[in-house]
Structure 1
């Protein structure tokens, strides 16, 4: 979008200062100039909205099940955690800090060209422990309610998996999580050598990590089938994109079984 904005703006400005003065007054604008003049204001408005206010995202995977389904379209608030310059993502105005339980979009630390979405579990300085399917923060177990519910989904389009759905209270957010009894709390073979890896301790029962200053520990609600901070490390503040606030469209339900009105416009906890 930035390329389109710069290109149409350059064509328009070129015509104003170099093209139009040399054309006959009755001559029409070249078609390329007409397109640039028509599209530049629209692209500029959309660019500003997406850069500073809100931006839509599509959920590509099941790591946030059952909160977010594959194919959900969500709205992300870009200014909740501060005003940032587009492209370089440098914060210029401080607003709020992420809170435990927030669903946050961020640039993947191993490849900043990719946007990831997970739940904020650990804040700077927190001691995060996940062992035997239970989350503990700063020595205090996170409240979890097991209602005996099950949730089935396809894992990688190959296997149908039945998970246990429980309800967790992280800060002011109460949300559902999926637990897979037959899966380990952490897949030790998938843990990479990430920055501040020395802050973490892993064993077959799970892990414990101390979050470095200015960084965050992220986990998916699909706890035992999520590629998250357990495996690639902490998210620096500079990688933050925004806070997910609303599910505004669920394409799969609309196409196949009709819109689920309870999900369209649903706020994200």
Structure 2
């Protein structure tokens, strides 16, 4: 039984080396081949389910598929673990000192390029590393996004990923909300309400702010803020306004060209977006939000006073700017169970 448990643990953590431990060469090499394209196949299934079933369907597909895969791996490992080790000389396993590096080299040479292709053109996992989309998305949220295939996906109110190239800096992926589409005129005006000043956004002469649904929230005594509902038609979402001034915009009126979009963060006091950078060209908007698959509250203060976010999205491999590092951060972590598997507007 101990042999089976060790093999299961190895397959869950370092698939498919549990089969190597069991001295089952044919199963080991077959599963090593499958593992090269497993992530890419999962991404393809997620994109297809999102097209057919929407965000909830994609989330259900993700969790059911992952659960089924782990269950099958554990069951198969337990069954194979009950068999005697292979004594076939033709299928004899090579020594671990070079077979382990060999598998990772094959993964890098064969599977990794395919993974990169599907990550860019199908679907990919990211985590949020700033507060610019609160109260919709929080720092520590882990999400899946999918490639935008046509312009119809770039509708007002959609959460999209766009690529921003900083001056003399790297290209970064940011997630914001579409406020204006090609041909729109977007006007920004400050408005005084009973809860303080709020940025009133007009699209083609119509305000998208709904003051009637506002309510004040105090997350921290020194940083109270107010939630307001925005949107037009059936697409409604919440934005967040604090006591701080959002700063000087590049303009207060934006007339969008035939391939330009106006993007903003839901946290209006802590988001670098089209108000400061201008409209975003269509070719830079690449992916749309699908669903949350995990969420961690690092219990950090991501809202730096007058330091507007500069790295909102981080890919699943950790490429990007993290706000805090070290063992102390892990000690403070808390899983947000109520945000796992959700789909936000």
Shorter chain as denominator, the TM-score bin is 0.5 to 0.7
Which residue of the partner structure matches residue 280 of structure 2? 235
In the other structure, the counterpart of 1:126 is 184
- Tell me which residue corresponds to 2:344: 268
1:259 maps to 336
Number of aligned pairs? Answer: 208
Higher helix fraction: Structure 1 or Structure 2?
A: 2
Q: CA deviation at 1:235?
A: 1.1
Residue number in structure 2 paired with 1:4: none
CA distance in 1, matches of 2:129, 2:219: 15
Tell me how far 1:109 sits from its aligned partner.
Answer: 4.5
The TM-score, its normalising length taken from structure 1, stands at 0.67
Q: Which runs of 4+ in 1 moved over 4 A?
A: 28-34, 253-258
Report what 1:169 is aligned to: 231
Q: CA deviation at 1:104?
A: 0.7
Partner of 2:266: 221
Aligned-pair CA distance for 1:173: 2.2
User: What residue in structure 1 maps to residue 68 of structure 2?
Assistant: none
* Runs of 5+ consecutive residues of structure 1 not aligned to the other structure: 1-27, 83-93, 193-201
C-alpha distance in 2, partners of 1:54/1:34? 25
Q: Secondary structure at the match of 1:42?
A: helix
**TM-fit CA distance, 1:60:** 1.3
Counterpart-to-counterpart distance in 1, 2:343 and 2:216: 23
The verdict on how the C-alpha distance between 1:235 and 1:35 changes in structure 2, with shifts beyond 3 A counting, is: same
Look at both structures and tell me which one has the larger radius of gyration over its CA atoms. 2
| Structure 2 stretches lacking a partner, 5+ long | 1-93, 191-198, 300-331
What corresponds to 2:247 in structure 1? 187
CA offsets per residue over residues 228-248 of structure 1, 9 Å max, x none?
111111111121120012122
C-alpha distance in 2, partners of 1:146/1:117? 28
Question: Pick from 187, 193, 216: which aligns with 1:150?
Answer: 216
Seen in structure 2, the aligned counterparts of structure 1 residues 37 and 227 have a Cα distance that, compared at 3 Å, is closer
**TM-score normalised according to structure 2 size:** 0.54
Looking at structure 2, the residues matched to 153 and 61 of structure 1 have their Cα atoms a distance apart, in angstroms, of: 16
- Structure 1 equivalent of residue 123 of structure 2: 54
| 1:106 Cα offset (Å) | 0.6
